[in-house]
Amino acid sequence: MIVDRYDPINLFEMLPKLNLEFEPELRVLDELLEDDELFELVRADLVKRYPNSAKLGRHSTPVEVILRMLVVKRLYGFSYEQTEHFVSDSIVLRQFCRLYLERAPDDTTLIRWANVIGAQTVAALNDRAVELARSLKVTRGRKMRVDATVVETNVHHPTDSALLGDGVRVLSRLLRRAKKALPAEVVGLLGKEAFRTRNRSVRRVAQRLHRIARRKGEKARKELKEAYQKLITLTQASCAQAGQVVEALWDHDDGEAWRLLEHFEHFMALVEQGIIQATRRVLHDEQVPAAKKILSLFEEHTQIITRHKAGKPREFGREVLIDEVDGGIISRYEILAQSGSERSRLPESLRAHQERFGRAPFLLAGDRGLYSTENEKTAQQAGVKRVVLPKSGRLSRERESHEKQRWFRRGFRFRAGIEGRISVLRRGFGLDRCLDHGEEGMERWVGWGIVAHNLRQIARRQVGRQDCSSCSA
């Protein structure tokens, strides 16, 4: 049964000699997280975990504790295990998380609860954080700057050989589980060959591939293709075995069999795509478009993003569009369906800003990747007074004089600040690499990082104001 809160206790009053108190930012954050709308958004998702979660079953970890522990996790860059440890170990964090003298939830429990909270709910939490920033006059929404960054998925460097090796490993693991789930007589009819694992064979071929890849010349290219042909044959054999076992599993309607069928169907389709991809690229020397490539069996939404950065020309993950308003608040974020499509999403950023703040920003700034004649006209028609979108390529004399105006150059300098904001998000709030799984997990991971950042930004502004007022007094 979902529990809202523990009975309140003031741990600081219980230990007066220790003279414990919240640091200024944590004290403001504590007040911000008392907001009822933030609480209700999280609770609405948690009650959906099971049909009767709201009224039946043993008492859950309170909603308030889950919300605050998830914020603490991203605020300090903890893992789930570290969050459990440090919250349990610290009297200050116990009081902040409203855990009091109760036992801290296990890290696996916290993971399960975190996965129940949907990506749309996390986006709604950020919308509410922006509303709080407006109400506290941290931002007025007069300026907006837009840029994109890449959040890498948690995958190793993608190669065709590694993809096929992962496919054989995953299918072999599922075959072992199926052998235990099927009755002994069915296993006997299928024979040992149906459940054979080919991990050692694949490992030997992969090691040979790596040795050949270091060499150059026509002979090396020929041997490389022969090794890839053997690797593809081994992977196809594993797929054929999986197909036999899947047919046997269809005759058994127990829960474990259905779970295995779901996993088999998911991974077999991806492995077969990997076989086709390796055949085209390596054996037939074809160019496969980046949009049609599969880079990982576990994070199949991963995309190749060309960044032209020194030392890192390509990144593997998803591109995220970020809208920042004055006050350092991230008012909106979006996981782009295709990398390089940020130009087409600028009108949506403007529309969302108008909905949130009731008017268009006075200043809109972006880099050359966002410029288009349509975007400039759309912004002006929406009511933006100063549109700072520098044009790429050779400039006409008229355009050059336009971009040399003082307000334009000042606006472009303002735009540069979002690079620093993105750096803070990547270094301090986990937007360098996503550790959650799947596209939903990517949206949730990015959302929690931005929610934690916005709450901290509000807290810092409030503390700064209090310090200024105390100094003037």
Q: What is the mean pLDDT of residues 109-135?
A: 96
Please check the confidence at residue 421 and state whether its pLDDT lies above 60.
yes
Report pLDDT for 467.
75
Q: What is the mean pLDDT of residues 417-441?
A: 95
Cβ–Cβ under 8 Å, residues 53 and 1 = yes
pLDDT level of residue 472 (50, 70, 90 thresholds):
low
pLDDT above 70 coverage of the chain, percent: 99
Cβ–Cβ under 8 Å, residues 439 and 8 = no
Place of tokens 């309140």: 8
Q: What is the mean pLDDT of residues 98-122?
A: 95
The answer for residues whose C-beta is within 8 angstroms of residue 103's C-beta and 6 or more apart is 88
Cβ–Cβ under 8 Å, residues 139 and 132 = no
Q: What is the mean pLDDT of residues 100-107?
A: 94
Residue 61: HSE in the Cβ half-sphere, 13 Å Cα cutoff: 26
Cβ–Cβ under 8 Å, residues 304 and 277 = no
Report pLDDT for 116.
95
Q: What is the mean pLDDT of residues 206-223?
A: 90
Choose from 37-46, 176-185, 301-310 the range with maximum mean pLDDT: 37-46
For residue 369, the 8-state DSSP code is: G
Range with the lowest mean pLDDT among 13-27, 34-48, 379-393? 13-27
pLDDT level of residue 311 (50, 70, 90 thresholds):
confident
Mean residue pLDDT of the chain comes to 93
Q: What is the mean pLDDT of residues 89-98?
A: 95
Range with the lowest mean pLDDT among 122-136, 259-273, 310-324, 348-362? 310-324
For residues 125 and 304, give the distance between their C-alpha atoms in angstroms, rounded to a whole number: 30
Report pLDDT for 57.
87
pLDDT level of residue 470 (50, 70, 90 thresholds):
low
Encoded tokens for 146: 């837009």
Predicted TM-score (pTM) of the model is 0.92
pLDDT tens digits, residue range 169-204? 999 999 999 999 898 888 898 898 999 999 999 999
Report pLDDT for 309.
75
Cβ–Cβ under 8 Å, residues 449 and 335 = no
pLDDT level of residue 320 (50, 70, 90 thresholds):
very high
pLDDT tens digits, residue range 244-279? 999 999 888 788 889 999 999 999 999 999 999 999
H-type helices in 144-285, by residue range? 160-181, 184-190, 199-213, 218-249, 255-278
Cβ–Cβ under 8 Å, residues 392 and 371 = yes
Compute the residue count for the chain: 473
pLDDT level of residue 471 (50, 70, 90 thresholds):
low
Residue 123, helix vs strand vs coil? helix
Q: What is the mean pLDDT of residues 219-230?
A: 92
pLDDT tens digits, residue range 350-383? 999 999 999 999 999 999 999 999 999 999 999 9
Q: What is the mean pLDDT of residues 34-45?
A: 96
